[in-house]
Amino acid sequence: MSSTADDAPTIHATEVGDSGPRVVFLHGLFGQGRNFTQAAKALVPDLRSVLVDLPNHGRSAWTEEADYVVVAEVVATWLRTTYGGEPVHLVGHSMGGKVAMVLALAHPDLVDRLVVVDISPATSDGAGEFEHLLGALAGVDLTMLERRGDADEQLRGTINDERVRGFLLQNLRSGSGDSGFRWQANLDLLRRELADIGGFPDLDSTFDHPVLWMAGERSRYVLPEHEPAMRRLFPRTTLVTIKGAGHWVHSEKPEAFVSALRVFLTAADR
């Protein structure tokens, strides 16, 4: 489904399940809502899921800036328009986790419970890695592509990991007729505003609803020095560490991820 309000950018989302409280998933940089399809199916019938393509990703519209306050407002407007202001559970991973935190702080009436997956309300390390990936994608000569595999071949020299290339290439789409290939993600904007994407806005509000802060044991995006800021903004935070997981908790340890979600989102209010 896709919808918009007035002049707000269009948001594309897919729903999975038709019973239980609604859970809205927000993906990370380079991702799409469908990255959470496996988790959404596993939550049926206890919960119904909404898999959102964030602005500048997937089939959602592009914006003129990637500022978290701006993106959170776009998603909040879409939620209010689509579900009539009914509160939802909000789950965000990485960049999507920062969007989710900002949205919950700005619009607590729209969020029942919040799940933040392997990210903190702080400046994130790894900007150099993402700059490298964005540069590699920008270097692909789209005019030379006859098939998706050609793009994979072009990326082999700069991105060694086949899984990473496959994840990034989900953003490549072939046009109709002779229009060739194009990137769905707004690569120019993401590259230009990568510093803002790696940061976090200075906010002084609080979100006084239950929050699950999920960290990968092998990741460095959730560290002890991040905890004071997290608990200041989200005083009802519970921190859970998923053993053996890195940054991609939901894909590396899917059963543990789904189990933690189900327990937290279906438990009686504390």
3: pLDDT strictly greater than 80: no
Q: 172 falls in which pLDDT band (50, 70, 90)? A: very high
CA-CA distance, 65 to 29, in Å (whole number)?
14
212 near 238, Cβ under 8 Å?
Answer: yes
Beta-carbon neighbour count of residue 69 at 10 Å? 14
247 in active site: yes
| Residues 118 and 132 both lie in one domain | no
Can you give the pTM of this predicted structure? 0.92
pLDDT above 90 as % of the chain: 82
Domain limit, last residue, from 153, 168, 192: 192
| Residues 256 and 157 both lie in one domain | no
Domain limit, last residue, from 169, 192, 215: 192
Task: Pick the catalytic residue from 49, 94, 124, 219.
Answer: 94
Start-to-end CA distance of the chain, whole Å, equals 34
| Residues 48 and 61 both lie in one domain | yes
What domain range includes position 135?
127-192
Task: Pick the catalytic residue from 109, 125, 188, 208.
Answer: 188
| Residues 114 and 229 both lie in one domain | yes
Mean of pLDDT values over 250-264 = 96
Nearest to 55 by CA among 41, 68, 37: 68
CA-CA distance, 223 to 213, in Å (whole number)?
12
| Residues 110 and 131 both lie in one domain | no
176 near 71, Cβ under 8 Å?
Answer: no
Structural domain count of the chain: 2
Q: Which two tokens stand for residue 164?
A: 């990473």
Nearest to 6 by CA among 71, 65, 77: 77
